[in-house]
Structure 1
Amino acid sequence: MLGSASSPQARQAAAIYQASAHLHRDTDPVIRRQLLALDAARHGAAELSDRLISSPVEGEPDAEWRVEWATGPSRLGHPTRPEDVAFTVATVAIDGRLHAVVGGPDELVRIWDLATGEPVGEPLTGHETRVPAVATTVVDGCPYAVTGDMDGAVRVWNLTTGKPVGEPLLGHDDEVNCVATALIDGRPHVVTVSEDETTWMWDLTTGEPVGDPLIDHEAGVPAMATTTIDGHPHLVTGAFGGGVMVWDLGTGETARELNTGDRTNVMTVATTAIDGQPHAITTSYLDVVDPGDDDRLSLWDLTTGRQVADLEGDTDKVQAVATALIDGRPHAVTGGQRGRRHPELRGTVRVRDVTTFRQAGRELLFPMPVHTVTVASNGWLIVGFGNEAAAFSRR
């Protein structure tokens, strides 16, 4: 039947159904509805995507998330080699309109209009290797991006002009794993972490490093996030074999080490506030090479250093965590790989209320592993899966 479709609309509908048929053929109607709506958006059929996600399923609640857009392999603008997944997204307002700054598996940094998912202007050029780290901030009223590459170079960009700001920030001699921004004494700063096991802090107003590099966990640091504790800016870092450390960015000194026990392989870190108090959410494993079933998602009170809760035995290998306020309550958004022992390598995004650590609604599923989740200021979820991306809004 699908092969006999003759009209353009019928052929498109057939292609949409076949895109992930091997995943949704034997699933329940709720999962099938969501995957078909995603595939329709990947094929540029926004109206069909809306109709699909709005379809009622007997005995089930309405879908919570609609697909605003999805790139599809031909629209992303990055090479689509499956082995080159190095995809990261940060959002920022440029001239009052939300945009996404995208680093991918090449040396280019791209800007997308968040409302449409379409590229804006020419890619930012200057890196010589792929760009796995991106953050955004505002300097003197102008939106800036800070990007780090595989060679250790960190570049700063004025997003209003699309031009680099000054020379690259040079201090690392290996891959930049992640970058994060913070205000220190009212001045914008960026913190950079590298495979060379150092953490540098830079004043973005001057482009100069601040003090000596922090010597962290004597191990690779794949994750970090900034927060405010007792009115002072702090950095939370997670390491392979090094647990979780909290740093006072005003002094450059260690504030505390969180007791992760034998779960020292920390893969993700995000921060949030619960009842006005700073908290961190981390993902850790016993065996970082083959995580198996030992995943742990933990919630920490950063004022006391106490672990508040954890959720073990999740069916996902969590690879990304973001936080957001939903209906005024702090939530964690996790992205990862569902059914890690299955050849389909399906991705998943789950939303949890961090005050209860309970999942809010059904998970979102993807045809490829999810490695990036970002929450924009308008509440949209930006999800990177495989070499593609999609944006979701609450219905």
Structure 2
Amino acid sequence: MSSEKSPGTVAAAADERLADPGFLADADPGEVEPLLDAASTPGARSAAVVYRESVHLHRDTAPEVRRHSGACAVTTAVVDGRPVAVTGNGDKTVRVWDLATGQQIGEPMKGHTSWVEAVATAELDGRPVAVTVSGDTTVRVWDLATGRQIGEPMKGHTAEVRAVATAVVDGRPVAVTGSHDETVRVWDLASGRQIGEPAVTGHSNEVWAVATAVVDGRPVAVTGSMDETVRVWDLATGQQICAPLEGHTDVVNAVATAELDGRPVVVTVSGDTTVQVWDLAAGQRIHGPLTGHGSEVWAVATAVVDGRPVAVTGSMDGTVRVWDLATGRQIGPALVFPAEVHTVATTLDGRLVVGFGAEVAVLAHRAQPTCETNR
């Protein structure tokens, strides 16, 4: 009797392994790659496509580093002319990755004593820097070229810091942070000091999301909260402008800003599974609720693809969807991943960075569009 396995048995075994995010993160790529052609179920085939796109990121990477790749916080930047991803995760470290080679650049940046919840990038004195926030209640600034922390941790929040974005106010680079203490705080990155006192208040529950934009010439922050509202703040005065944007029926998990027909807009995603688009100048909803995701939507980024502004959203349903901001319609089929999608980011050269389960994928748009990212 032949000991060879039937094609059906081989496919079933491959499908089972490819559906396990832990296996994809921990296994050597040489062990995973032979399974890719045997994938037969939709989920396994999707995992195979994603793995092929990102295998170069993990081929010579240790499992503990690959596990860090499943970061809850991801953003992109350019350091010494190289496009990079900056990630933070539950191992309390911040890491920088070369998107061309998939290799980690330098050593992990250590200092936080709890989960790194969010990361944003900025330029400080001509240097690219990362700003990170954590469950340890601190805000930290890192020199991306040297991997060193700049200054002392910035303290003021009294609970977990959940979100961060950067902007320029009166010519100085600032970070805007949102916390479970229900406040929004603005920090001068050059001095490491909080701007304004007391902190900006208005939300009646934890602040989970922050983005920045310019409205009528004024730098503003846009925040989302567990109180189900989105609020817009003048960064120069700390005052709320316009009434709260109401429409979501669950926590606002993430927000991202863009420009649509010359107007500043914000895209919001929520635990209610929907995506909504708002005109920041008018304080009115333009599109939504946009439906398609089958579970809580965790992440959103914006870009310009083939000349049109789009939003990219990631969900606990394991999908990434792309939305045309002009029409409010989904573009193409959803990208299906083998685990929950918890973060998305875009790069200047048109790539999409997706954090799912314990993995990260870097996907290139086939037409190689020009993309503009939003911090």
TM-score for the superposition, normalised by structure 1: 0.80
Name the counterpart of 1:271. 257
Segments of 4+ in structure 1 off by > 3 A?
Answer: 1-5, 8-14, 31-35, 69-76
Name structure 2 gaps, 5 residues minimum. 12-27, 367-375
* Cα distance, 1:4–1:187 mapped onto 2, change above 3 Å: closer
How many residue pairs were aligned? 342
Contact 2:188 2:195 (C-alpha < 8 Å) held by counterparts: yes
Distance verdict in 2 for CA 1:79–1:70, change over 3 Å: closer
Q: Deviations over 1:53-74 (max 9, x none)?
A: xxxxxxxxxxxxxxxx468995
Letter in 2 for 1:125: K
Q: 1:70 to 1:299 in 2, by over 3 A?
A: farther
Whole-Å Cα distance in 1 between the matches of residues 341 and 168 of structure 2? 30
C-alpha distance in 2, partners of 1:271/1:208? 26
User: Is residue 2:328 matched to residue 1:357?
Assistant: yes
Query: Which of the numbers 32, 37, 54 marks the counterpart of 2:49?
Result: 37
Residues 1:90 and 2:75 are matched in the alignment: yes
1:307 aligns with 2:278: no
- TM-superposed CA distance for 1:159, in Å, is 1.3
- Matches of 1:382 and 1:119 in 2, distance apart? 15
Distance verdict in 2 for CA 1:37–1:256, change over 3 Å? same
Letter in 2 for 1:331: V
Contact map agreement 2:176 2:210 (CA 8 A) in 1: no
Name which of 363, 371, 374 aligns with 2:345. Answer: 374
Unaligned runs of 5+ in 1: 47-68, 286-293, 339-346
Paired amino acid for 2:146: T
Letter in 2 for 1:274: L
Match of 1:77 in 2: 65
Alignment-derived partner of residue 334 in structure 1:
313
Which residue type is aligned with residue 108 of structure 1?
T
Question: 1:76 and 1:276, CA in 2 relative to 1: closer, same or farther beyond 3 A?
Answer: farther
Q: Give the secondary structure class of the aligned counterpart of 1:255.
A: coil
Equivalent residue number for residue 146 of structure 1: 131
Deviation at 1:172, TM superposition (A): 1.1
Q: What residue is the counterpart of 1:295 in the other structure?
A: 273
Corresponding residue to 1:282 among 258, 268, 280: 268
Whole-angstrom CA distance in 2 between matches of 1:39 and 1:335: 17
Moved more, 384-393 or 8-17: 8-17
Q: 1:113-262 maps to which residues of 2 (within 5 A)?
A: 113-212=98-197, 213-261=199-247
1:49 alignment counterpart: none
RMSD after superposition? 2.7
Q: Which residue of structure 2 lines up, in the alignment, with residue 15 of structure 1?
A: 35
Please give the alpha-carbon distance, in whole angstroms, between the structure 1 residues aligned to 2:61 and 2:202: 38
Distance 1:131 1:356 in 2: 36
CA distance in structure 1 between the partners assigned to 2:163 and 2:60 by the alignment: 26
Percent identical residues? 42
What is the DSSP-based 3-state SS (H/G/I as helix, E as strand, rest coil) of the residue aligned with 2:302?
Answer: strand
Q: Distance in 1 between matches of 2:146 and 2:32?
A: 39
Q: Specify whether residues 262 and 323 from structure 1 end up closer, same or farther in structure 2 by C-alpha distance, changes over 3 A only.
A: closer
Equivalents in 1 of 2:162, 2:66: separation in Å? 20
The 5 Å alignment of 1:313-332 reads 313-317=291-295, 318-332=297-311
TM-score when normalising by structure 2: 0.84
CA offset at residue 363 of structure 1? 1.5
Offset of 1:16 from its aligned partner? 2.9
* Structure 1 contact 70–388 (Cα < 8 Å) conserved: no
SS of the equivalent of 2:47 reads helix
CA drift of 1:79 comes to 4.8
Contact kept in structure 2, 1:72 and 1:388, CA below 8 Å: no
